[in-house]
Structure 1
Amino acid sequence: MASTLLPLATFFLLLSASYLRIAGAEAEPLTSLKLNSPILQESIAKQINENPEAGWEAAINPRFSNYTVGQFKRLLGVKQMPKSELRSIPVISHPKSLKLPKNFDARTAWSQCSTIGRILGHHLLARNPPIFTGHCGSCWAFGAVESLSDRFCIHFDVNVSLSVNDLLACCGFLCGSGCDGGYPLYAWRYLAHHGVVTEECDPYFDQIGCSHPGCEPAYQTPKCVKKCVDGNQFWKKSKHFSVNAYNVKSNPYDIMAEVYKNGPVEVAFTVYEDFAHYKSGVYKHVTGYALGGHAVKLIGWGTTDDGDDYWLLANQWNREWGDDGYFKIQRGTNECGIEEEVTAGLPSTKNLVREVTDMDADAAMLLSQIKNESDGTLLLKEGVEENASTVDGQSASCTQAKTEKRIFRA
């Protein structure tokens, strides 16, 4: 009988084709002429700004002034999860009894947490700050690591900046293809099983001479060295973990409740050509091709004076882009698939003993009360909310820590 095995190159070609559908929209095939054309177009900005129904302002953002469409697509690194895999993932929902505010901003709710107010990619510890993701599709890694950093502060009062580089370089095929894209959920699973070191131990990579917009060649995935750059820290002792990895039920209430109770989450959505031109307002897709999937950090929500509901998100394209690096997108309509893939995990206390010694007595006492941490469960003796979530509609064993400051201070 003749072999039915496909050549390896053919297999990966078919596999790539199966992921063309990103976050609810078909990624459209583009001609070579289109890929080599500038991503920023005066005609697109004019069409949006002259449309009274658009609801947002467009501009020629200097961040992408030298980018082609093909180069811009390199930044969009989210790959679509196979539907068969999605069915095996825990889905978190929240009781409808929670009273949520009309407007919420994690930056002010947890003002003691410095990482929440930091734009993704704007790292003080970068080797050549301020860093930019260049032509590396590392958004899937940024969204996960930055959200987990925030949650360590929210739940344990530990201000720590975790390493995107560790996840990007060391997760390998478990997460996807490094700079050529990855899967947010697999990133969170890696954080639970393998953890990531601090950014001080392993800063985000920078290729000298190729960090400006429009530079060539495209970034290659950095090597996994498993050694702290300063030589004074131990790699394994610098690891920080999540307890679990889960998706949040795809409706506005559950997403808001998750952020309100546990902190920022990673979300993925479809990016169209017009999104590169975003300056301010509540984004809704108006014109242009679908270019790919992108992951960002969702930090809040609100309603404009005109009654437009929105999500508030932090991007990783530095402060030159958008509204000082942030953007708003329409809430409640699954705009560009923004409410379809919402991923998160709770922070683990593993390896936190060293940091507890530098914390106040109340925080140290809290951590000493943790009785059990297994099977995705975080149990606290006090300051807990029983049955705070359900997994696939059934009662979950995941007891979630409250996020109010009083849990950490007398």
Structure 2
Amino acid sequence: MLSLSRFLLALILDVLFNDSRTANSLNVSAMLELEEDFDYLLADSGMQYSLEELTQHREDFLAAHRAATKEVDGKPIVASGPSGGLTRLFWKSRPMLIKSLADALNRDQKSWVASFEQERFKGASVSDVKTLCGTILNGPSKLPKKSPSYPSDLKDLPDSFDAREHFKNCSHVIGHARDQSTCGSCWAFATSEAFSDRLCIRSGGQYDMVPLSAGHTAACCSEAEGCFSFGCDGGQPDSAWRWFSEHGVVSGYINAIHSDRHYTEDEGYSLDQVDEIKKEIIDNGPVAAAFTVYEDFPYYKSGVYKHVRGSELGGHAVKIIGWGVEQNEQYWLVMNSWNVNWGDKGTFKIAFGECGIDSEVTAGVPRDNKKFSRGGAQPEIML
């Protein structure tokens, strides 16, 4: 591993720019300017590479730059928009997972294990993972706070809790690791999953076959419906809970949409105290939470995550299903929406307060407006 210096960058650039393809498409002035741009972006990211990783990123960046460059009045101009912009090209050409960073993370701390072998992000770029972080963080929730519990109700909370074990009739619903694919709809997944869990719990385990549709939530909880949400381009858990109350969300059963909507009793509520969050999970089931994701988080494999290094990728929403203590560190037990081939079979542990994980917690209570049945046609699952 090595720390990158401008001298080393210049040497590598000198070699790479002798490539005939590059020489044919960029003049000397453009090469020097591009060198400065890459140097600045690399320094700003604060990353370390092996020489092989650096060379590969450089080559991919130059290839992406060539593809996005057009000549205007004899000058090379990088196109704007989704495929253009130097910063965007930098992150799009930078692999999400690099071995040197995984090694550094494991060397610098012992709280959690970082893995370069994350099947979920094989071949993915940093830009690809940024896309998944689609939650618009807004500080304290705009939903009303739930009325505080009496102190006596909070004094006997257990040191550890797992909703999958506590609500056994709904364990397979609560523990189902879903996949948001390449869409920034984590805000819709976290809320619809928590709602699904609570619906199962409230029905005594009768409603346990189909998760409520994150796709329906992402597509229909839009600006037109009064939501501050933009589908795959991001949204807020607050908006989803309000939408559940006013419009309902479908399950995916083969029924007319108007007869397959499930509602919450009200617009939902927020919680921001650790003990209140714990009691809420014990009483009603998992909750949705939003936090800031940094570049080291996708490497998580096991242990209790605490941010170590790397740039901010964006806001992400997840589902808290419990808590515990490991190596004297208190943590939240969380379900992600990156499938079972990421993290600890789709779950992770994160230290209390880390990256704002317990500062934007929201939930809602299912409305008693359905008769639950296991019979009927086999459902078509909507993600």
Q: TM-score, normalised on structure 2?
A: 0.69
Residue aligning to 1:197 = 250
Q: Deviations over 1:25-64 (max 9, x none)?
A: xxxx95632342011121221111112x340000021210
CA contact (8 A) 1:313 1:327 kept: yes
Per the alignment, in what secondary structure is the counterpart of residue 332 of structure 2? strand
1:43 correspondence with 2:103? no
Q: Does 1:56 align with 2:112?
A: yes
SS in 2 for 1:297: strand
Q: Quick one: structure 1 residues 100 and 279, their matched pair in 2 at CA, closer, same or farther if it must change by over 3 Å?
A: same
- The residue identity in structure 1 corresponding to 2:89 is S
In structure 2, the residue matched to 1:90 is 145
Distance in 2, matches of 1:194 and 1:54, equals 46
Query: Is the alpha carbon distance of 1:325 and 1:144 closer, same or farther for their aligned partners in structure 2, counting shifts above 3 Å?
Result: same
Match of 1:116 in 2: 174
Change (3 A) 1:144 1:69: same
In the alignment, the residues of structure 1 paired with residue 162 and residue 139 of structure 2 have an alpha-carbon distance, to the nearest angstrom, of: 32
Contact 1:94 1:258 in 2 (8 A): no
SS of match in other structure, 1:133: coil
RMSD (Å) for aligned C-alpha atoms: 1.9
What is the deviation of 1:357? 9.4
Deviations 1:315-363 (A, max 9, x none): 11111100011000002xx10000110010000012x13x2697xxxxx
- Structure 1 equivalent of residue 368 of structure 2: 349
Gaps in structure 2 of 5+ consecutive residues: 1-85, 376-383
The structure with higher relative contact order (CA 8 Å, sep 6+) is 1
In structure 2, C-alpha distance between the alignment counterparts of 1:87 and 1:318, rounded to whole Å? 30
2:287 aligned with 1:261:
no
**Shift, 1:249, TM fit:** 2.9
SS in 1 for 2:314: strand
Instruction: In structure 2, give the amino acid aligned to 1:56.
Output: W
Partners in 2 of 1:88 and 1:260 — Cα distance?
21
Cα distance in 2 for partners of 1:272, 1:357 equals 42
Q: CA contact under 8 A between 2:160 and 2:323: conserved in structure 1?
A: yes
Query: Structure 1 CA distance, aligned partners of 2:188 and 2:275?
Result: 26
Pick from 199, 207, 219: which aligns with 1:159?
207
Q: 1 CA distance for matches of 2:348 and 2:143?
A: 32
Q: How many Å apart are 1:251 and its aligned residue?
A: 1.9
Alignment check: 8 A CA contact 2:159 2:325 kept: yes
Letter in 1 for 2:355: C
Instruction: Answer whether contact 1:92 1:247 (CA < 8 A) is retained.
Output: no
Number of matched residues? 280
Q: Deviations over 1:228-271 (max 9, x none)?
A: xxxxx121111111112334331211111111111100000000
> Contact between 1:298 and 1:311, CA under 8 Å: does it hold in 2?
yes
% of aligned pairs identical?
A: 40
Corresponding residue SS for 2:168: coil
Residue 170 of structure 1 corresponds to 220
Tell me the secondary structure at the aligned position of residue 266 of structure 1: strand
Task: Report the counterpart of residue 196 of structure 2 in structure 1.
Answer: 149
Residue 7 of structure 2 corresponds to which residue in structure 1?
A: none
Relative to its length, the structure with more helix (as a share) is 2
1:288 to 310, 313, 335: 310
Given candidates 321, 329, 338, the residue that maps to 1:308 is: 329
